[in-house]
Amino acid sequence: MTGSMDGHAEDRGRVYQASGDQHISEHHHYGGEAAPTNGPDSVRRPAVGRPPIILRDRTEVLERLRESMRAGRGGEVYVLYGMGGCGKTAVAYTFFQQATDGCGRVGLWVSATDRASLRAGMLAVAADRGAGDGELLAARNGLRPAADLVWQYLDRSAEPWLLVLDNADRPEILRDGNWLRTSPRGTVVVTTRRSAARWWPGAELQHIGVLPREDAARVLRDLAPHSGTQEDAAEIAERLGRLPLALTLAGGFLSQQVLDPWTLETYGRHLDEGERVELIDRGADALSEEDPRHLVGLTWQLTLDAFEAQGLPEATALLRLMARFGPEPLPLSLLNRPEISGVLPRARCETALRALLDQSLTELVDVGVRSAQSHAVLLDSVAAATPAQQIPVLNATAVLLLDAAVPDIPDAGPYDPLLRLLVPHGLALLRRIGDPSTSADALAVVTRLSIALHRTGDYLSAWETARAAADLGERQLGAEHRLVLAARSRAGRTLFRLGRYTGAEPLLKRVRATQERLFGADDPDTMDSGYGLQLVLGNLGRRDEAIRLARTTIADRRRALGPAHPLTLRSRSSMLVLLSASEIVAEDDGTLLSLPSECLRHLGADHTVTLGAHHNHAWALYLLGRFDEADQEIRLVTEAYRRRFGPEYPIALAAQQLLSRTQAARGHLDAAIELMTDVVARRVQGLGSDHPFTVAGRQLLSDFSSGRWRPPET
């Protein structure tokens, strides 16, 4: 086997992916000595802020659920469905507590509101049940099926469990990844608004409706016991449709009146008054008579009126701002920024938030990041009733807050739970904004968020974010808007990282051709898409096309950005793993082999591009037969990767595999076998026995052990 074919057939794809894109371009490394768990702090604690004081009228439902906890039972899926605000999560929470406190079950609670939250939560479940860091890292990076890993460990669990998938209002998310399964070791409970049986084959469906009159009245009296009689409470409960969310908001309001407490009779009179209460019907969204937002709107508007009367208009402003985002946990750090001053003074944000908490309009939850969370029905009704003249400044401020929370220049780093939490809020903003200019600003931020996710290795979330952002942006801006094309390009780059080369190639080709037609060949966006396409072509085995495109990108970047720009140096580095030994010596007037020194001079020793250039340079030295030099360089690179990203990280294993080759080439076959044995063991754990990377590593180890291996010919 020639040196060129040796690199292409066995290592080039792997090293090229790692060095050409993974640690130079995509920067998706983790910091520290070990891979992080990439999920909420705990799946053993329900992510709800305020559990119900007393759960009314759910005895029959809870008894049916408790039946599944009896000895020998397992394999059931229960779906609790009903309109928003009817208390599905409260039922699941109460059952969760009963199962863990009295039935000896391990309780596992996962938010299923969006793909990223579901995946992170389920991988945290796998970690709780014993999955190792390497396996979790591979699943997170899209290198092995994440759902299979999770259910493998759930099936192996030594303890029986209860798994709650909360707020699964988009059941297609569960279906797409085959996340919802059964196991004899446990019981699954799903809460959702979607009741169609086709979404829940084999599950037992349980409707959770509004409360009976007497129980609804008791909810009001549980929260505000001194505000009136049982009959008074029953009358107000009927007015509020006996919807638990509306009752909770009303009771929270009544319980907080101190200087001039309202009675239930007074509350009912205010429900009859007022034009302001009916603002809910003037919003942007048309509401049907059955829509629960009508009922919720009756309650929160009275609370906002009270805020105004008490000299707390900032609470109203903050709630309307929060309604521009989604119902998922909203990191508190997002609100604690000077950019919020467009809507309310930053110094008053704490007081405003406390007022919302006191009135049960939001609640604090801890999902690894301290956050505030409001019910989706409440946010929808607030958004619909927001005066039209306030919407532009609310949208602009929301975009500024999100922009400040996303890194200006995303780079390699450890997993940051804040990034994943920002995704649904960025997409919610894109859905709510109707102004093209503000939509463009929001799309730019969400695309940058996708890049940041990509560069921490959360490829699936990055792809889903970029794809969804492009689709939403296209509705407002058109298919050929610069920012829409940039989001599509980012989606293509992430498809490449997920190994979906056949999907990435046509997408990147189409985007690059459009960018070149609209903006020119030397436009930065065009060059970025060209670089991404070159990576795909190289991994598809179309070496000549990849080399031609790489040379074009290098020339364009030199001309547009200069020879010392990190993107120019990164593009040149990719040539070190594309070319054969003879081509490397002749390329770029013979200067390609001095690239690490250039990177060191212009960027510094710790820059990601510099480290990647050393990795690729070691491969080139190996092809050239300069084994001692290659061994010394790749040893330093391997140590740096292990120190920064952990021993299981893919590029750390790729570097270790190259180190095994240089050791073998220098005659240290025992050391090479030891290194490759470790690589294969870690890949088996992280990727599985049948993954191509594992198969290639096992073949190299076999060649070492049998004596078939030969160094590259020079």
Query: Over 50: is that where the pLDDT of 1 sits?
Result: no
Q: Phi and psi at residue 163, in whole multiples of 5°?
A: -115, 120
Give the CA distances from residue 177 to residues 118, 180, 460, 473, in Å, rounded to whole numbers and listed in that order.
10, 8, 11, 25
**Average pLDDT for the chain:** 85
Do residues 7 and 132 share a domain? Answer: no
Q: What is the pLDDT of residue 519?
A: 96
Instruction: Read off the pLDDT of each residue in 82-100 and give the average, rounded to a whole number.
Output: 87
**pLDDT tier, 297 (very low <50, low <70, confident <90, very high otherwise):** low
Q: How confident is the model at residue 116 (pLDDT cuts 50, 70, 90)?
A: confident
Given this model, what pLDDT does residue 318 score? Answer: 96
Instruction: State how far the Cα of 299 lies from the Cα of 587, in Å rounded to an integer.
Output: 72
Residue pLDDT, tens place only, 282-293: 222 334 445 555
CA pair distance 614, 7, nearest whole angstrom: 17
- Range with lowest mean pLDDT among 236-250, 251-265, 416-430: 251-265
Asked if the model's pLDDT at residue 374 lies above 90, the reply is no
Residues 89 and 25 in one domain: no
pLDDT of residue 18: 34
Structural domain that includes position 139: 59-207
Cβ distance 381 to 319 under 8 Å?
no
User: How high is the pLDDT of residue 36?
Assistant: 40
Quick check: is 9 in a domain? yes
Residue 231 domain flag: no
Is the residue at 405 inside a domain?
no
Cβ–Cβ < 8 Å for 188, 99: no
Distance of CA 164 to the CA centre of its chain: 19
- Give the domain-ending residue among 207, 235, 269: 207
The pLDDT score that the predictor gives to residue 212 is: 86
Residues 20 and 104 in one domain: no
Query: For residues 23 and 41, what is the distance between their CA atoms, to the nearest angstrom?
Result: 27
Question: Do residues 648 and 698 share a domain?
Answer: yes
Q: Does residue 686 sit in the same domain as residue 606?
A: yes
- Confidence class of residue 35 from pLDDT cuts 50, 70 and 90? very low
Q: How confident is the model at residue 269 (pLDDT cuts 50, 70, 90)?
A: confident
Query: Domains in the chain: how many in total?
Result: 2
* pLDDT at position 46: 83
Whichever domain contains 638, its CATH number is 1.25.40.10
75 & 195 share domain = yes
Condensed to tens digits (0 to 9), the pLDDT of residues 536-565 reads: 999 899 999 999 999 999 999 999 999 999
Same domain, 22 and 111: no
Counting every residue written for the chain, the total comes to 714
pLDDT single digits (tens) 569-627: 999 999 999 999 999 999 988 899 999 999 999 999 988 899 999 999 999 999 999 99
Average pLDDT over residues 228-255: 83
**Does some domain include residue 125?**
yes
Q: What is the pLDDT of residue 144?
A: 86
Q: Is the pLDDT of residue 166 over 70?
A: yes
Report residue 14's pLDDT band, with 50, 70 and 90 as the boundaries.
very low
Task: Give the range among 123-137, 198-212, 392-406, 494-508 with minimum mean pLDDT.
Answer: 198-212
**Can you give the three-state secondary structure of 82-97, one letter per residue?**
CCCCCCHHHHHHHHHH
Mean pLDDT over 144-161 rounds to: 93
SS3 325: coil
Is pLDDT of 644 > 90?
A: no
Instruction: Assess whether 658 and 616 both reside in one domain.
Output: yes
Listed range (232-236, 272-276, 389-393) with the worst mean pLDDT: 272-276
Which one-letter amino acid corresponds to residue 339? E
How far is 120 from 461, CA to CA, in rounded Å?
10
Does residue 649 or residue 439 have the better pLDDT? Answer: 439
Given a cut of 70, is residue 53 above it in pLDDT?
A: no
Is the domain of 24 the same as that of 110?
no
Residues 193 and 78 in one domain: yes
Q: Which residue has the higher pLDDT, 308 or 529?
A: 529
Q: Are 12 and 131 part of one and the same domain?
A: no
Residue 613 in domain: yes
The pLDDT tens digits of the residues spanning 302-348 come to: 777 778 777 889 999 999 999 999 988 999 999 999 999 999 999 99
What confidence tens digit (pLDDT) does each residue in 382-416 have? 898 899 999 999 999 999 999 999 999 887 666 77
Q: Tell me whether residue 261 is in a domain.
A: no
User: Which band of pLDDT confidence, cut at 50, 70 and 90, is reported for residue 51?
Assistant: low
State how far the Cα of 589 lies from the Cα of 383, in Å rounded to an integer: 62
Beta-sheet strand order (sheet of 370-373): 330-331, 370-373, 363-366
Q: Please identify, among 157, 192, 207, the residue that sits at the C-terminal boundary of a domain.
A: 207
Domain assignment of residue 464, yes or no? no
Which residues lie below 8 Å from residue 688, measured CB to CB, with a gap of 6+?
Answer: 144, 694
The domain boundary residue, chosen from 207, 222, 257: 207
Residue 198's CATH number: 3.40.50.300
pLDDT tens string 445-486: 999 999 999 888 788 889 999 999 999 999 999 999 999 999
| Residues 624 and 675 occupy one common structural domain | yes
The number of beta carbons lying within 10 Å of the beta carbon of residue 305 is 16
Is 153 inside any structural domain?
yes
- Dump pLDDT digits (tens) for 54-86: 667 688 888 888 887 776 677 899 999 887 788
